[in-house]
Structure formats: structure tokens, C-alpha cells
Structure 1
Amino acid sequence: MQQPPPPAAPRRLPPPTAAARTPSPSASVHRLREVLLIELRDLVLVAGREAADERR
């Protein structure tokens, strides 16, 4: 009978990169991003409607 292989040594994680060490952006930045994404989506929807109207 074969022996199971010995358990592998735990892998050490590499040190965090500079980007990982920087603090996460504040809540206001997240809110601004959310608002901008909503505005962009609205603009795309309006542009799509206008393009559909022109094709009729």
C-alpha cells in the first residue's frame, strides 16, 4: 500500500503591494462613482431611445 504524501508546508503569501497597502477610498468617492454610473446609464438609455426614434 502506498503512503499518502506528507502535508504540504503552508505557503507564505507574498508581501502586499503598494496598491494593497493604500487605504481604501472614502465613502464619498464611492458615492460619487455610483452617481456618475447612474448618470452615464441614463445618458446611454436616452441616446438609445433617440437612435431608435430616428430609425422609425
Structure 2
Amino acid sequence: MAVEVEMVIPPDDPSEPCYEAETVQLLREVAEHAEQGDRNWIQEHGTVYELVTSTR
């Protein structure tokens, strides 16, 4: 799966980009829903990729 998020560059330490609290919370929710197999919720918030194997 892929979820698009933004990093911020704090003015007091531009050498270390970071996430805002809301982004960290979203990533926690994504992980929780992924563990539960909640594909519908994840598709509303990101992109779901599926592994397809060859039968050759």
C-alpha cells in the first residue's frame, strides 16, 4: 500500500525533516487498519497494491 504524506522542514533545524502530529496519527491509523485487513478504509486513504504470482 502507499499513502501520500508531507514532511515539514522545521525552521529551527532545517537539517532534519519531520512529520506533523496529524501525519503521525494518520500513519498509525493506516497501520492499524492494515493489520485488521480493512481494505476499504485503506483504499479511501491511499493506494492498495496486490501481489500477483505467475502460474508458469
TM-score between both structures, scaled by the size of structure 2: 0.38
Structure with greater proportional helix content: 1
TM-score between both structures, scaled by the size of structure 1: 0.38
Larger radius of gyration: 1
Q: Which has the higher contact order (CA 8 A, sep 6+)?
A: 2
